[in-house]
Structure 1
Amino acid sequence: MAAEEVTFDQVATAASGLQDAGEAVTLDAVRAALDADGVQATAGTVYKHLADWRAAHVPAPAAPAAELPPALLAGLADWARQFAHEAGAADREALARAGDDMQSLIDAGDELEAARAELSGQVAAASAERDEMLAQLADRDETIERLTAELSNAKQVAMDALVGKAKDQLAIEGKDAQLADLRAQIERNVTAAAALSDARLAAEMELVGAATARDSLAAELRDVRAQLDVLRNRR
């Protein structure tokens, strides 16, 4: 879940709650309190608001009252050492808290850097995979284009072959029809010639004589048959 922009009031509420509970008001403690309330924020934003809160709510260390102890001479040295220790305690505590906060910021920065490095590696891997897929798609497109051209050529060749075959078939059928017409015409001519020869033979037999007419008719019939044979051979 992405960290949201936490407000100063939210940080102040968490810090005041820790202070009222007598707990140390550190960056990690404030972030934990915010997280318990369902608020997630970056360490830098919390640190900025926490510094503002400390400036307003953490009083400057007050110097202890410079009252002489009853046993002035006997305990002066011990009192001076104790005074110095107490005077620097608040500063040491504030310095320790600041050091803890700084370490928390450093740790958060390290985590962000590690996450950034991991994300960069994922992006690089995704880019390499994308480039590889693009190269494969380009190869496939080239193959598809080549196969499409080959298929188109094959279809054209097949179409030309079918057209040629159809033309040949039509030519053959046309020749068969012409031969059938020619055969029918020859048969009609033969029939007509035979009828004409018969009529002519009868007339000539009556006029000239049966023998002459028969010889002439036989000769004509041989000629017609010879022509029929020639036509049949040509067919």
Structure 2
Amino acid sequence: MNFDDVAAAAGKLQDGGMPVTIDTVRDALGGGSASAISRHLADWRAAKDKPAEPPRAELPQNLVADLARWAQQFAEEAGSGTRAELARHEEELESLREAGDALEAERNALQAQRDELATARDDALATLAERDEEIERLNAELRNARQVAMEALVGKAKDQLAIEGKDAQLAELRAQIEKNVTQTAALSDARLAAEMELVGAKTARDSLEAENKDLRAQIAALRKR
């Protein structure tokens, strides 16, 4: 988009009785930068609104000179208001151009900031997802560790109960052995005192010794376990 495009669009709008503004020119062009259109439109207005030179008069030289001076003065006085208005418009347009440039710069800065925030948000979401996965993995490991510890405690408790049961059996067998030994000793003493009961005492002693032997075998078997 250049000056010729803006001037052509502005001329068409003016010929059609339409207001010539930045928005109407941009609509006629189908888009474009507001600041660029404003600059070209100001140049178009300045070129279009130049005061025309006074016409030459075929009069006596002195009269021509006087008329020329008068015409020049009149043109300057008549155009002073237009030039002042144009100058004022130029100042306003320049202010608008500066404001437009500032707004575009601010918009670009905001766009860049928004892009940075979007990138930071995506990074934060990715980091959060990684942390969620890490937490889930640690929870799974903790559950497994608890399960292993529980199984170990149960196994230890079972072993302790088995040991306690074996100790109780050994104590009972020891008590039986001591009882049998005592009975065997009593029978031996009774044999010396009662020869008549020798056969019965011997049989009882043998039975007790056999029982004692079985008990010792049971103790040995329990110890091997």
| TM-score range relative to shorter protein | 0.5 to 0.7
What corresponds to 2:66 in structure 1?
A: 79
How far did residue 77 of structure 1 move?
A: 4.4
What corresponds to 1:96 in structure 2?
A: 83
AA aligned opposite 1:92: G
How far did residue 181 of structure 1 move?
A: 1.2
How far did residue 75 of structure 1 move?
A: 5.6
Give the Cα separation in 1 of the matches to 2:104 and 2:123: 29
Instruction: Tell whether the 8 Å contact from 2:188 to 2:201 is kept in structure 1 after alignment.
Output: yes
User: Please, which of 127, 145, 148 is the counterpart of residue 135 of structure 2?
Assistant: 148
The percent identity for this pair of structures is 8
AA aligned opposite 1:88: A
Give the Cα separation in 1 of the matches to 2:130 and 2:66: 95
Matched, 1:194 2:181: yes
Distance change (3 Å), C-alpha of 1:74 and 1:165: closer
What corresponds to 2:145 in structure 1?
A: 158
TM-score by length of 1: 0.60
**Structure 2 residues not aligned, in runs of 5+:** 1-59
How far did residue 222 of structure 1 move?
A: 3.1
Q: Which runs of 4+ in 1 moved over 6 A?
A: none
Once superposed, what is the RMSD of the aligned Cα atoms?
A: 2.6
AA aligned opposite 1:79: D
How far did residue 217 of structure 1 move?
A: 5.5
What corresponds to 2:106 in structure 1?
A: 119
Give the Cα separation in 1 of the matches to 2:64 and 2:142: 114
SS at match of 1:140: helix
User: Please, which of 92, 97, 105 is the counterpart of residue 105 of structure 1?
Assistant: 92
Give the Cα separation in 1 of the matches to 2:64 and 2:188: 182
Distance change (3 Å), C-alpha of 1:83 and 1:193: same
User: Please, which of 214, 218, 225 is the counterpart of residue 227 of structure 1?
Assistant: 214
AA aligned opposite 1:130: L
Give the Cα separation in 2 of the matches to 1:212 and 1:175: 43
Distance change (3 Å), C-alpha of 1:77 and 1:132: closer
Instruction: Tell whether the 8 Å contact from 2:184 to 2:205 is kept in structure 1 after alignment.
Output: no
**Structure 1 residues not aligned, in runs of 5+:** 1-72
Give the Cα separation in 1 of the matches to 2:133 and 2:194: 90
Give the Cα separation in 1 of the matches to 2:173 and 2:154: 28
